[in-house]
Amino acid sequence: MQNCPVKLFLFVFLFCSVAARAQVRIFGGSQITTANYSIRNAVQTTESKIGFLGGIGLTNLIEGPLYFSPSLYYSQKGYKVSFNRPANPPDSAALNNNTSINTISFTPQLQWNFSDNKRHFFVRLGPALDVAINGREVFDSSGGKPVDRSMLFSPVGYSPITASANVQFGFAQKRGFGFFAFYEHGLSSLNNKDMGPIILHRIGGVAIEWSF
């Protein structure tokens, strides 16, 4: 079942590339990832982790300076959190948690160019849908035994699909090179379990891109 969203995103992306005369771009970069983590409205202490991303995008003119700019890419996410009360998932006996999550992300964004010149600043805005490929969590339990295991993505565990808002601000140069900074603000919780924690991704980073 988890493969169905990935296939859907691939279909949408390929459809856009076939149906439109779009400029293709490839990109990659690094990111700082963490989470807004709360248990029954009590915010927990979190730490950030370093991840990376890379993928392919399209840029297709709509009208004037406005473009449709969807992207499909790999994104490595994660967070570290310390608990002051029981959290399930990962486990009611967990004292903390250190997660690493591999995802495929699809961002159907709109792009606004601030100039008609080949050298120009731009901003991209839109939603992001993340599909988890797999994940790993490491935590200490109150019994003193460390746990290192795969994350369970299910209706009673972690959510295989999360939604975010994504904004990018960048600069394009004449010969196709460009770069951008971005911020991703989680809107739906990574946790699916009733009465469990609310886990919202918070991600920021930079990337370089090449358009051709």
Residue 15: the pLDDT is: 53
CA distance linking residue 209 with residue 73, whole number of Å: 12
Q: Is the pTM of this model over 0.85?
A: yes
* pLDDT value of position 16: 61
C-alpha separations of 211 from 62, 160, 178, 182 in Å? 18, 31, 8, 18
What's residue 9's pLDDT?
63
For 52, the token pair is 């990376």
Task: List pLDDT tens digits, range 126-167.
Answer: 999 999 999 999 999 987 889 999 999 999 999 999 999 999
CA distance 118 to 106: 26
Domain definitions of the chain by residue range: 3-16+26-202
| pLDDT in the model for residue 1 | 45
Integer Cα distance of 108 and 125 in angstroms: 9
DSSP SS3 for 76: strand
- Span 92-105, pLDDT tens digits: 999 999 999 999 99
pLDDT value of residue 10: 63
CA distances from 17 to 21, 23, 211 (A): 7, 9, 14
**Which tokens in the block code for residue 173?**
């140069």
Looking at residue 34, what is its pLDDT?
97
- Residue ranges, the chain, pLDDT below 50: 1-2
**CATH code that applies to domain 3-16+26-202:** 2.40.160
